[in-house]
Amino acid sequence: MSTHDLYTTPVEPSTATVPMAGDTRFTWEYDDGREKLLALYQKGKDRQWDSTTRIDWDLEVDPHDVLGVPDQSLAIYGSPYWEKMDERERGELRRHSSSWQFSQFVHGEQGAMLTAARIVEAVPDLDSKFYSATQTMDEARHVEIFSRFLQEKIGLVYPINTKLQDLLNETLGDSRWDMPYLGMQVLIEGLALAAFGVMRDMTTKPLPKQILTYVMQDEARHVAFGRLALRDYYRQLSAPELKEREEFVIQGCYLMRDRIRGREIWTNFGVPVAEVDEMVKNSPYMRMFQSLLFSRIVPCVKDIGLWSPRIQATFEEMGVLEASRSDLDALMRNDEELADKLDAERFAAEEADRKAEVDAVIESEAAR
């Protein structure tokens, strides 16, 4: 079935065009490179994996309870709209909510794939080109995974959120080579990584947990790449140049904050936009979710040197300034370790099942 047949609203045209600016840069220096970045590139090569074999796609998913999380996670829970729904309608609402979340993931990952390819073109140094090439492959795998999950397990797809589209357009359309890093590696990837983490830790369903855990192992490296590349470069910029980057971050964070309201879901169920925004603002779960979503962005922005009083005031107004104390390195290590632990548990269980099968065959043969 065509993806177009699964969209909640028609999506035209089939191919969107984003005008791009900036230079493609060759380098003739093949020997020099930053040790940490080259080590990250090596890890990127070592960690390549095949989604068709690493993920157990035979696991069943109930499209009306994809994540197995409490209904309190839905912004309209407890409202008159919720009380009027019967169980079938509530199940359909859960399906739409999960579809919207995973749809934005797949659209964002396609944006990340295109941005990583853009970085390969635009960045001046070879070690960054090397790593961006591995990231482009990672992002292609993520698009493959999330699109398959949507089509085969949920059977419903939402168009790209307009706020996400705006940020992708600004990120890809800027001629300065560092802006794709800032827009994608810091803002979009940072938010996605945090969203994946919240869902990974909350879901009680094995297939989405596998997908999110393995994708996060890749994404942890991507955010680290952005930090390494931008930290040194931003030390060289003038105050006016840094101010321009800070303005981009501020506007991007507001776009990301507005994106998570998921207005498209609720309007499909007859809830007016103004009421949606009020319910999202007053939902304890959504307030918690928003604060966690910026847990990767805020410390990363601070780490790369964009930490003016205005930036801090913006994060204070959004209620996420406390996230600046987060230990990014510890979070990234945890993301990688959880994926390794999941592999070990799964493969140990499979080995035990195989041993049980062999023992049963041997016992059966001995009884003859």
List of domains in the chain: 3-13+33-340 (1.10.620.20)
Over residues 206-235, mean pLDDT: 92
Question: Would you state the pLDDT for residue 36?
Answer: 86
Mean pLDDT of all residues belonging to the chain: 89
Q: What is the pLDDT of residues 298-344, one digit of tens each?
A: 999 999 999 999 999 999 998 899 999 989 889 889 999 999 999 99
Question: Would you state the pLDDT for residue 34?
Answer: 82
Q: What is the pLDDT of residues 88-129, one digit of tens each?
A: 999 999 999 999 999 999 999 999 999 999 999 988 889 989
CA–CA separation, 86 and 83 (whole Å): 8
Helix, strand and coil in the chain, % to nearest 5:
70, 0, 25
Q: Exposed, middle or buried by CB within 10 Å (0-12, 13-18, 19+), for 214?
A: buried
DSSP string, 108-151: HHHHHHHHHHHHHHH-SSHHHHHHHHHHHHHHHHHHHHHHHHII
* Angle at the Cα of 247 from the Cα atoms of 246 and 250, rounded to 5 degrees: 85
Q: Yes or no: say if 223 and 300 are a contact pair by the CB < 8 Å rule.
A: yes
Question: Would you state the pLDDT for residue 48?
Answer: 95
